[in-house]
Chains A and B, each alone.
Chain A
Amino acid sequence: MEKEVLFKQIILVTDGESNGEGDPIEIANMISEQGITISTIGIIGENSSQKSKYEVEQIAKIGRGVCELTELSKLQQTMQMVTQKSIYQTIQTAVNKELKSIINTEVNDLNPNSREKIMDLMDNLSDTINLKCIILLDTSKSMTNKINIAKKSILSLLNILNSREGKSEIAVIAFPHIERENYKLICDFTEDISLLKESLSIITTSGMTPTAEALEGALQILDGKLESCLVL
């Protein structure tokens, strides 16, 4: 049986720092060990704290993903950019590992002419691999005025990703979910824009920001389903 090449990513979208019980950095480490990339997007405004910026940067670092800080109005492009960059980054790391073992060199050490073909190959690969992306959306109280734009941004992200040759699926986890539950899978992996739209419409905002618990939930959801796949 041919194995599909799959890129698994979690994108954390938040406007503040974690104030749940667990430690998000610790969970990020655990997820990263499973070959899943965690990228983060911090929505910043006038009263964003230094601590919240530091936290998203650390999570992405440990998750071997990309971190971007953005204002709300650029959230949409930022989501796509983060996805694209982290795919590139992961492919580049994998290719560098190969090159290192074959000719003991990295892509950056090759001259521009010899690396052009490799770049081409990597660009094509980034387009053809299948993508499973879980968006961890902060739905705490502070997101109230931002949630509609966040929903629209997620929809456009799927629309843009659908232009890829490979399959692109998005799932959405909202955290917290109402008062009691720390997180909830709002939409399971899908390529279908109308299904995603319908699912997103039930999201409301309230409560705290249990980032660690939500990350743990994302891991469980990714873990339960993806065993027959080759992970980059």
Chain B
Amino acid sequence: MLSNVSGHLHRSVQVENKMVKKLVKGNVALCEGAIAAGLDAYFGYPITPQNEVPAYMSKRMVEMKKVFIQAESELAAANMVLGACATGKRAMTSSSSPGISLKQEAISYMAGMEVPGVIVNVQRGGPGLGNIAGSQADYFQAVKGGGHGDYRLIVYAPANGQEMYDLAYNAFDVAQKYRNPVMLLCDGIVGQMMEPVDFNKEQKTKFEDRDWILDGCKGREPRSLKSLLMQDGVLEQHNLDLLKKYQMIQDKEVKAELYQVEDAEVIIVAYGISSRISKNAIKQAREKGIKAGLIRPVTLWPFPSDIIASYAKPGVKFFSVEFSLGQMVEDVKLAVNGKCPVDFLGRAGGGIVSDKQVLDKIEELAKK
């Protein structure tokens, strides 16, 4: 049975286990995950392929009497997130690659001020205006800085509609727990694809008290949030304190999916959409008797280096599959640390790697 739940963007489907899932675009699943997490405010600006997000939020947030603003630019939208999150509220902004470049200013400030904003990048092809096809070319920007200064962004890479929902739901808790900005690094394909999503999370309403938020200095000393630390040594100490926090995040927040890796002789490392294509190829390889497997980072930072390292045994060959000319592969090489060969398969500019190409690569490496 198909029924209209909320305008044209939702459709319900009955699936085998009788759980009611909704058939939605990844971008819509993402919105619902954020809303279930208790989103107070969404600030956006139109850009393809994430236009469903501001469109959907402009209706849902206003209906819920929450805040929606179509900002004058991505600069403004990200700084609105900074303002809202400085008061302990849950706020999000989304964009696609060119707009994410503009958000780097606020991201760096949020990292320095320890303001837990959530930023979504539904990646498209670049550099420059590029094109509007799905891409994974913003990996470096997301995990290696992007903005200025010594900082780290917690980066999640959803691979399907359900994960768009689940990871958006978790992003706010993680951001506030560590007082650190969090990015969901998606791609135009997962964002646009319609898939059944189980909207199974309970609406969050209560959050723990936080002793750093700006909510008026009633009955306490005034607080100020800043990243400008001019006195001798103070900024360095702040950097070292941040480093401690980043190390804690690295210890506790790494997430990865392992698929058929235990006996694998060829291991693919891929995230998001390219991990799904890789999985198909792995199934085909297994049918041909080739032991292939997948390590799928769900967190791109912190990167699952230890997990990858634990499979870097003699005789194993690695390669990464990316919709770019090879970015994450550098981190795979660092994790493997010379113990096994690490190869790469990718396409740029919105080109899609086919499962056939992945299978060919698996076969080529298996023969070596």
Query: Is chain B found bound to chain A in the same assembly?
Result: no
Q: Which residues of A contact B (CB under 8 A)?
A: none
B residues near A (Cβ < 8 Å) are: none
